[in-house]
Amino acid sequence: MEFENKVVVITGGGTGIGRETARAFLERGANIVLNGRREMKLQEAITELDATGRHVAYLAGNIGKPETARQLIRTAVQRFGGVDILVNNAGIFKPMPFLEHTEEDYNAYVSIILGGTFHASQAAIPEMQKRGGGAIVNTGSMWASQAIGATPSSAYSAAKAGIHALTRNLAIEFAADHIRVDTVAPAVVLTPVYNTFLNEDEVKDVLTGLNDFHPLGRHGQPRYVTAAILFLAGSQADWITGVVLPVDGGVAAGQHAH
């Protein structure tokens, strides 16, 4: 199998894209270490993904804190012997007009999204160096490269844009160590993040209304993003690094007629 005995660390791993990605790596032979802020969600994920617990571990905590990132990587080393792949997927998202953002909002976006990616990568890279290489795949965003009037997201977009820039910098700095660093940039993907600020009926209405926003005529599913993450983390992408790959139903290609 493609990822037999590889050790994969996934932040934001309890739900949505992170959980779907963990499932896919497990099916391909990997050992998984999950991080998220809600321990209950991580326990639910582990029970669903691997009830035996042999191939999955977790660490609950805010990945925006450097010590959480260090402890997460220590958990991977202690449980499975090292780190081969890091998926930086932790994030928060709640569209809000710029003038309504508080200092706490700004700090949360930058800390969890950009800080989490920075700190987890800084903790994981030395372990990848010990193994002669590795792969980091970040979850960026369409919102990092273009503003969408219907979803004002200035702090979120700025933090995600930082991930895109960090991707290129780390790709160049650690290419000689055979550590590849890439990012997937989704558009609208159906994940539980929308339920943090909308009820179930509102989620359905909003996402259905956004279908036509995507040239391919439908919003995304977590499995679409997972497929791109697996590709970038795997051997078929062995000569790819520093890439920001849109997984967005064609949005990045340009405007289309409605």
Known catalytic residues are 156
Structure tokens at 124: 């994981």
Contacts of 67 (CB under 8 A, 6+ apart): none
Amino acid identity of residue 110, one-letter, is V
Task: Tell me if 142 sits within 8 A of 186, measured CB to CB.
Answer: yes
Residues 6+ apart with CB under 8 A from 137: 85, 86, 87, 88, 182, 183, 184, 229, 232, 233
The two beta strands, 56-60 and 7-11, are: unpaired
Q: Which two tokens stand for residue 94?
A: 């709640």
